Amino acid sequence: MSQTAVHTEHFDATASKIGMWLFIFTELLLFGGLFIVYSVVRFMHQDAFHLAAQELDVVLGATNTGLLLISSMTIAMSVSAIQFGHKKFTQILIIITILIGLVFLVNKYFEWSVKIGHGLYPGSPVLQGFGNGDTLFFGLYFFMTGLHALHIVAGVSILGWVLVRVNRNGIHAGHFVHLENGALYWHLVDVIWIFLFPLFYLIS
Amino acid sequence: MSSSENRHVVPYSTYIVILLVLLVFTGLSILVTSYELGPLAVSAALLFATLKTTLVLLYFMHLKFEERLFGVMVSVVMALFLVVLVITFFDYSFR
């Protein structure tokens, strides 16, 4: 009697997505913890936060918010496009999303450059002259927007990998959960920014 | 062939409508906070952020079209976060 192992490939898209969501929860709680730190520090230094937030550029912040919302739509559309079997359109939508992510980072670079040019960076002599409230505001600003920017870099990398898989037909109308999971990650990055924008730029 | 992969396909038009609503909410939150409303501005900005997040979760992240399990999991995590937030604020408000 010959021993042949019959290997039938079983793939469970729902399980794959549950895994992605569990990872997203760890990310949400990571940023959630930081939001709680922000709330408490703001509660203790209300006047300083009020004035320090006025240093931030609302126009630039709003532009980046709009960009991320548009990119969230394009990547959501790509999941429909792959299901319709529109490979070309899927590729275009993923490329647009990646490009918007890169534009976001360029804006962030200019924004940070201006702040650092004004002597506003963690541990700067200018901030030490202002007192604890401003130091904490800009410390949290750089840490939280910086951590978010790192997530943009990660998201762009993931979507780049997804794009390669689509090009090679590894992701297609019958098997697209990796595109869906990549899109979920990009939406997470969008959701985090939806809260960062009002808390740092608007409430002043 | 995996059986569960061909499910609900969301039409492009739904996403365009949701994006427009999200942009309007962003505009409104900027408008509201441009007035000197004090604590009310904070509440309004957070309300709009919550509404936007709900739309992103339901439509862009497909929670509206997924099995119920996903919605339950997200709700539990949100509830956990809110509990920690509220307990932290009880601590700081009454010390």
Q: How many CA atoms lie within 13 A of A146 on its CB side?
A: 10
Average pLDDT on B58-66 reads 95
Partners of B65 on chain A (C-beta within 8 Å) are: none
> Helix, strand, coil proportions of chain A in percent (round to 5)?
80, 0, 20
Q: Is residue A76 classed exposed, middle or buried when 0-12, 13-18 and 19+ CB atoms within 10 A define those classes?
A: buried
Q: Looking at the predicted structure, is the pLDDT value of residue B13 above 90?
A: yes
The C-alpha R_g of chain A, in whole angstroms, comes to: 21
Out of B5, B26, B67, the one facing A175 most closely (by C-beta) is B5
For domain A3-202, give the CATH superfamily: Cytochrome c oxidase, subunit III, four-helix bundle (1.20.120.80)
Please give, rounded to a whole number of angstroms, the shortest distance from the CA of A109 to a CA of chain B.
23
Please give, rounded to a whole number of angstroms, the shortest distance from the CA of B92 to a CA of chain A.
8
Partners of B4 on chain A (C-beta within 8 Å) are: 12-14
pLDDT at A203: 79
Partners of B9 on chain A (C-beta within 8 Å) are: 80, 83-84
Q: pLDDT tens across A89-130, in order? A: 999 999 999 999 999 999 999 999 999 999 888 888 888 888
pLDDT at A123: 82
Q: How many residues does chain B have?
A: 95
Q: pLDDT tens across A40-92, in order? A: 999 899 888 888 888 899 999 999 999 999 999 999 999 999 999 999 999 99
Whole-number Å distance between alpha carbons of A94 and B73: 28
